[in-house]
């Protein structure tokens, strides 16, 4: 259909970016792989997968995407929901400015969302079922309305698209220390499962009932 669910991350790290870029991009690829394995007629809405690369240069790509696809509607896609996946990493701790100690548990993370009640309830159930521990579910309604989110989804959310955005802020982000050993491999599949279930729930929800 023209109604489209957008699944998003970014690939713009200036260092190794294993958690910053790799974990989020891999999570988008996982969704693409999963849904590509299903027959197209099993979905009601179109799926769009995207990663962006202009965080460190002024977000030009992000803003142009919003202009072309959402604000000016120069394409046939009617983006009715956004799912953004970033930073599936282990917790980093540094005492008194010393070396980073990587703990074998997820970094504290937030899921910022402005979903309607039914979808929010479905998301909570999935978080519990797949044991996404150390996760806070945060309301994004006010932030999207007045200034945007502190995530890669900010411009899409501010443009009025209902958004669910997974984000964490480990202390090795934006640093040479963000190497593959920091990725929380044990959380990649649970995160993929939670968001695949959410996308499936969004797919069957009437578009005008997705967001608050």
Q: What distance in Å separates the CA atoms of residue 67 and residue 77, rounded to the nearest whole number?
A: 13
Please give the backbone phi and psi of residue 167, each rounded to the nearest 5 degrees, phi first: -150, 145
The pLDDT tens digits of the residues spanning 79-104 come to: 999 999 999 999 999 888 888 999 99
Which tokens is 67 given? 């202009």
Q: What is the mean pLDDT of the chain?
A: 95
pLDDT for 82: 98
Virtual torsion, Cα 132, 136, 140, 143, nearest 10 deg: -140
pLDDT at 146 over 90: no
pLDDT at 56 over 90: no
Q: Which residues pair with 48 in a beta bridge?
A: 6
Cβ contacts of 50 within 8 Å, gap of 6 or more: 6, 7, 8, 28, 65
Contact between 152 and 83 (Cβ < 8 Å): no
Which pairs count as long-range contacts for 188-193, CB under 8 Å and 24+ apart, including other chains?
188/23, 188/26, 188/27, 188/30, 188/88, 190/130, 190/131, 190/132, 191/27, 191/85, 191/88, 191/132, 191/166, 192/27, 192/30, 192/31, 192/34, 193/126, 193/130
pLDDT for 212: 86
The pLDDT tens digits of the residues spanning 20-54 come to: 999 999 999 999 999 999 998 999 999 999 999 98
The pLDDT tens digits of the residues spanning 159-203 come to: 999 999 999 999 999 999 999 999 999 999 999 999 999 999 999
pLDDT for 55: 85
pLDDT for 111: 98
Closest CA to 145 of 124, 132, 131, 159: 159
pLDDT band at 14 (very low <50, low <70, confident <90, very high): confident
> Tokens 């899921």 identify what position?
111
Q: What is the 3-state secondary structure (H, E, C) of 53-100?
A: CCHHHCCHHHHHHHHHHHHCCCCCCEEEEEEEECCCEEEEECCCCCCC
Neighbour tally for 96: CB within 10 Å: 4
Better-scored residue on pLDDT, 64 or 55: 64
pLDDT for 12: 86
| pTM of the shown model | 0.95
């Amino acid at each position: 259909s023209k109604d489209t669910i957008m699944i998003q991350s970014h690939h713009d790290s200036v260092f190794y970016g294993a958690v910053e870029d790799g974990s989020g991009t891999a999570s988008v690829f996982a969704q693409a792989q999963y849904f590509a394995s299903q027959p197209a007629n099993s979905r009601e809405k179109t799926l769009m997968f995207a990663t962006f690369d202009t965080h460190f240069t002024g977000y030009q790509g992000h803003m142009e995407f919003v202009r072309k696809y959402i604000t000016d509607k120069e394409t046939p896609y009617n983006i009715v929901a956004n799912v953004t996946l970033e930073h599936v990493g282990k917790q980093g701790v540094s005492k008194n400015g010393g070396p980073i100690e990587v703990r074998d548990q997820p970094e504290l993370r937030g899921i910022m969302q402005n979903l309607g009640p039914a979808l929010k309830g479905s998301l909570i159930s999935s978080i519990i079922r797949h044991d996404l521990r150390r996760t806070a579910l945060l309301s994004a309604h006010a932030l999207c309305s007045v200034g945007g989110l502190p995530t890669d989804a900010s411009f899409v959310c501010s443009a009025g698209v209902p958004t669910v955005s997974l984000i964490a802020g480990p202390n090795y982000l934006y640093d040479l220390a963000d190497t593959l050993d920091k990725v929380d491999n044990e959380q990649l599949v649970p995160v993929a499962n939670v968001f695949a279930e959410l996308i499936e729930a969004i797919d069957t929800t009437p578009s005008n009932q997705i967001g608050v």
